[in-house]
Amino acid sequence: MLWSRRGRLRTSAVTIPLASLSLLVLNACSGSGEGDAAAATGPLIATTVSPITSIAAAVGGDRVRIEGIVPEGTNSHTFEPEPRTAELLSDADLILVNGLKLEDPTIALAEANMGPDGRIVEIGTAVLPEEDYIFDFSFPKEEGKPNPHLWTDPTYAVAYAGVIRDELMTLDPDNAEYYEGNFAAFRAKAEELADAVRTDQATVPEGNLKLLTYHDAYAYFAKDFGWQVIGAVQPDSFADPAPSEVAALIEQVKAEGLPTIFGSEVFPSAVLQEIGSAAGVRYEESLRDDDLPGAPGDAEHSWLGLMRYNYATMIRGLGGDPTTLEAMDVTLDTPDTAVYPQ
């Protein structure tokens, strides 16, 4: 058995250190209120941000135990894992991170603590060739950190699921067919979502498919779906932009004739509000970054639910009609047993 560490199929249970046993009990307790982690078995997978946790859960179902690290509604770009995360990382059979320099402190903690059979996979780095890296205002080239937000693009989300499927099949070949089936179901839903975005974005008035956001999370999506990111307010330091930059953005919003600019719950922005009122446009502040809608266990508490909400909100804000997106059923039959820290 390839994944016997802390797993149910371990043959010599007497060798489990007491500390691991107490951790198992803790996991069972925290899981009972958040999803159904207590019922899951199999290899232990550590993940970072909640969209990646959700995609991993869509592939792994209840034959893996998945624990997220970055609490929902947290700024993942500046997130530093707590020392107790070292315990999870040392026990994990597989550590799934986005990579592209998003979670360097977590990767450093993992490298210092992971067990001899542990493995770190940088999913975004794996699926994005270097020539396709996007650098921009929030992620300038001279800082060396490309825009890491691939998962907001359904095409890349499917590629992420493909990497996760391959990793799980290698780790746990007995359940290969199960992971393959779950992957196919997730891909079908992600493609349905992409089709719904394309249908609904066609209702947006000509010339309006333009985004000014606070957090710069849609660069790859925009490129694939024919939208234009006219700017993102958040500088690479995650501080507020300089007054001259704010003035330039106000002029740009006026010139582009945007009806709405978008902020997000995770990053409340007085600056964006100021740009909105100075330019005379609506400020929609409800985009969600890594904060999945609803509560763990709800169908919409998922990557599918998150992206449906964000794209429906953008399309409505830009003057379109998101009926197709809102009518879409985001339920997956695969059980989500992951632990999502709140």
User: Smallest distance from the beta carbon of 152 to Zn ion, in angstroms?
Assistant: 9
User: Smallest distance from the beta carbon of 239 to Zn ion, in angstroms?
Assistant: 15
Give 167 or 216: the residue with its C-beta nearer to Zn ion: 216
Looking at residues 213 to 252 of the shown chain, list those that interact with Zn ion (rule: CB under 5 A). 217
Give 232 or 312: the residue with its C-beta nearer to Zn ion: 232
Instruction: Enumerate the β-bridge partners of residue 238.
Output: none
Measure the CA–CA gap between 42 and 3, rounded to whole angstroms.
7
User: Smallest distance from the beta carbon of 274 to Zn ion, in angstroms?
Assistant: 22
Measure the CA–CA gap between 181 and 12, rounded to whole angstroms.
32
Give 214 or 227: the residue with its C-beta nearer to Zn ion: 214
Q: How many residues does the chain have?
A: 342
What is the token pair recorded at 280? 């005379």
User: Smallest distance from the beta carbon of 217 to Zn ion, in angstroms?
Assistant: 5
Give 140 or 207: the residue with its C-beta nearer to Zn ion: 140
User: Smallest distance from the beta carbon of 63 to Zn ion, in angstroms?
Assistant: 30
User: Smallest distance from the beta carbon of 78 to Zn ion, in angstroms?
Assistant: 10
Looking at residues 189 to 218 of the shown chain, list those that interact with Zn ion (rule: CB under 5 A). 217
Q: Binding residues for Zn ion, how many (CB under 5 A)?
A: 1
User: Smallest distance from the beta carbon of 13 to Zn ion, in angstroms?
Assistant: 41
User: Smallest distance from the beta carbon of 77 to Zn ion, in angstroms?
Assistant: 6
Give 236 or 256: the residue with its C-beta nearer to Zn ion: 236
Measure the CA–CA gap between 299 and 308, rounded to whole angstroms.
12
User: Smallest distance from the beta carbon of 1 to Zn ion, in angstroms?
Assistant: 37
3-state secondary structure the chain: CCCCCCCCCCCCHHHCCHHHHHHHHHHHHHHHHCCCHHHCCCCEEEECCHHHHHHHHHHHHHHCEEEECCCCCCCCCCCCCCCCHHHHHHHCCEEEECCCCCCHHHHHHHHHHCCCCCCEEEHHHHHCCHHHCCCCCCCCHHHCCCCCCCCCCHHHHHHHHHHHHHHHHHHCHHHHHHHHHHHHHHHHHHHHHHHHHHHHHCCCCCCCCEEEECCCCCHHHHHHHCCEEEEECCCCCCCCCCHHHHHHHHHHHHHHCCCEEEEECCECCHHHHHHHHHHCCEEEEEECCCCCCCCCCCCCCCHHHHHHHHHHHHHHHCCCCCHHHHHCCCCCCCCCCCECCC
What is the token pair recorded at 299? 């169908």
Give 91 or 216: the residue with its C-beta nearer to Zn ion: 216
Measure the CA–CA gap between 188 and 168, rounded to whole angstroms.
19
Give 92 or 217: the residue with its C-beta nearer to Zn ion: 217
Give 31 or 154: the residue with its C-beta nearer to Zn ion: 154
Give 3 or 79: the residue with its C-beta nearer to Zn ion: 79
Which residue is nearest to Zn ion, using beta carbons?
A: 217
Cβ partners under 8 Å of residue 177, min gap 6: none
Residues that bind Zn ion (CB under 5 A): 217
